[in-house]
Amino acid sequence: MKKKSALVALGLGLALSACNTSADRVADAKENVADARKELAEAKDEYVLDMEKFKKETADKIAANNATLADLKVRMAQERSVTREKFTTNIRQLEEKNDALKRKINEYRTDNKTDWNRFKDEFNRDMTELGKALKDLSVENVK
C-alpha cells in the first residue's frame, strides 16, 4: 500500500510539474525564435555588406583594367602595322572580357549565400585570368 501511495504522489507531482514545464517550453520556444530571427537578420546584413564590398573592389579592378587597356592602345599606335593589328585584336578581346565581367557583376542577383560564394570564386578566377592576360600583353608589347 505504501508503494501505491508513493506512486500516486509521484504521478501527481509529475502531472503538476508538467503543466509548468509546458508554459516554460512555450517561453523558451518564443525566445529561440526571437534569437533565430536576430541571427538571420545579422547574417543577411553581413551578406549584403560582403556583396557591396566585393562589388566595390571589382569596380576598382575593372577601372584599373580599363586604364591598362587605354595605355596599351596608346603604345600600340607606335608599333609597326603587322604588330599593331595583332595587338589591336588582342586588346579588343580583352576589352570585351572586361566589359562582360562588369555586366556580370552589375547584373548578379541572389539571396543565397552559397550561390554568392560560388559566384565570387568563379568571378575572381575570371578576373585573375583577365589580369594575367593584360599583364602578358603588356610584357609582349614591350618586346
**pLDDT tens digits, one per residue of 54-106:** 999 999 999 999 999 999 888 887 877 777 788 888 999 999 999 999 999 99
Residue 63, CA atoms < 13 Å, CB-side half-sphere: 6
The candidate with the shortest Cα–Cα distance to 40, out of 108, 109, 118, 113, is 113
pLDDT in tens, 18-29: 555 777 787 877
Look up residue 66 and give its three cell numbers.
580599363
Whether the model clears a pTM of 0.85, i.e. scores above it, the answer is no
pLDDT in tens, 107-136: 998 778 889 999 999 999 999 999 999 998
Cβ of 83: how many Cβ atoms within 10 Å? 14
> Residue with C-alpha cell 504522489?
9
